[in-house]
Amino acid sequence: MTGPHPPDPAQTDTLTLLGTGDSKGVPRFWCACPVCTEARGLDGRPGVNRRTRTATLLRSGARSALLDAGPDTHAGLARLPGPLVPDAVFISHAHNDHLLGLGDLLDYVRYADGRLRVYAPPEVVPQIAARFPYAFPAGGAGPVRPIPPQGVPVGEVTVRAFRVPHGANGHSHAYRLDRPARAGGEGWSAAVVTDAIGIPPELARTWLRGPGGAGLDTLLLGTSFEDESGAPLSGRSVYDVREALTLPWAQAAGQVVLTHLSHGVDVRRAGHLPPGWQYAHDDLTVPLAAATRPSAALAAGRPARPQQEP
């Protein structure tokens, strides 16, 4: 996994995490906790815990798409080594930390006469129109389209959205990414689940497993705090790291990247994460490919039985 420089041309499918913080970012501007203090850095250099709000750049060959557009999206795109206009933008829900960067993208369409496809779940489209009324002409088609059930192709990848529980915040949507197997190459499956808690098993079986019930090849999972067990469940809205480590569908994934991190997560303390798991950081590039599968027993979260001696 690499930083903000261009991905290896041989690796055609990647996710670049432009923003990996929770809704308030890190540091929180009013906070002097150890994580926020470290994130501020020294001598103008940010600490390793510096995190901006959510935006994820999917690349598949020559095509690209933004998965959400938080308030810091402009800065994230400006850090790329050259100009980039995504072929599509997807908005999962109408919370500020996933939506407000859309204003810059709509300005590109409105004032630079650019062309940009913007998608959102059908119920979210009118909420976006209420935030950006200037971009939605009266009596005409607006710039945001409903995501069709069959998904939207981005290069060789199909992007679909599915509804997930968001705890005290109602519900959100997550993204399912699939690249089918082609001649000469393996397919893969991935999910980006930034804002969810309490996903029921039947939903996980449908959306958070690969073909045949195997684990996903890649999972990006939101975990805002290391441990929120002391907080009332009724007031929470995102998994914590403690919970994520117990989720069967997360345990079965080939690689897991924990994102949407608040100042309640110090990425310098990652030694408790199992192999194949890591904390996200801004500009992290994650390759998307078929993972080496564990045995069926390990994928189900059970230790494999030792073989009998002959």
Alpha carbon distance 310, 305 (integer Å): 15
Extract the tokens encoding 6. 């261009």
Alpha carbon distance 89, 151 (integer Å): 13
Q: With beta carbons less than 8 A apart as the criterion, state whether 238 and 196 touch.
A: yes
Alpha helices in 118-247 (DSSP H): 125-131, 201-207, 241-244
Q: What are phi and psi of 71, to 5 degrees?
A: -60, -20
pTM of the model: 0.90
Q: With beta carbons less than 8 A apart as the criterion, state whether 1 and 285 touch.
A: yes
Alpha carbon distance 280, 53 (integer Å): 12
Is 307 part of a structural domain of the chain?
A: no
pLDDT tens column, 184-207 = 678 999 999 999 999 999 999 999
Bridge partners for 144 per DSSP: 118
Is 298 part of a structural domain of the chain?
A: no
pLDDT of residue 298: 42
Is 43 part of a structural domain of the chain?
A: yes
pLDDT band at 11 (very low <50, low <70, confident <90, very high): low
CA 59-15-159 angle, 5° bins: 65
CA 24-29-31 angle, 5° bins: 95
Is 217 part of a structural domain of the chain?
A: yes
pLDDT tens column, 263-309 = 999 999 999 999 999 999 999 999 999 997 544 434 444 443 333 33
Is 306 part of a structural domain of the chain?
A: no
Q: Tell me, what CATH number does 207's domain have?
A: 3.60.15.10
What residue type is assigned to position 295 of the chain?
S
Residue 13 CB-half CA count within 13 A: 22
Q: With beta carbons less than 8 A apart as the criterion, state whether 281 and 210 touch.
A: no
Tokens 């689940």 belong to: 193
Top-confidence residue, 295 or 80:
80
- For the chain, the domain total comes to 1
pLDDT tens column, 95-104 = 999 999 999 9
pLDDT band at 115 (very low <50, low <70, confident <90, very high): confident
Residue 41 reports pLDDT greater than 50: yes
pLDDT tens column, 51-78 = 999 999 999 999 999 999 999 999 999 9
pLDDT of residue 136: 86
Instruction: Give the domain range for residue 177.
Output: 13-292
Is 300 part of a structural domain of the chain?
A: no
Is 203 part of a structural domain of the chain?
A: yes
CA 146-148-149 angle, 5° bins: 135
Is 242 part of a structural domain of the chain?
A: yes
Residue 106 reports pLDDT greater than 50: yes
**What's the whole-number average pLDDT of the chain?**
90
What strands lie across the sheet with 117-120, from one edge to the other? 144-146, 117-120, 88-90, 63-69, 55-60, 13-19, 284-287
For the chain, the residue count is 310
pLDDT of residue 158: 98
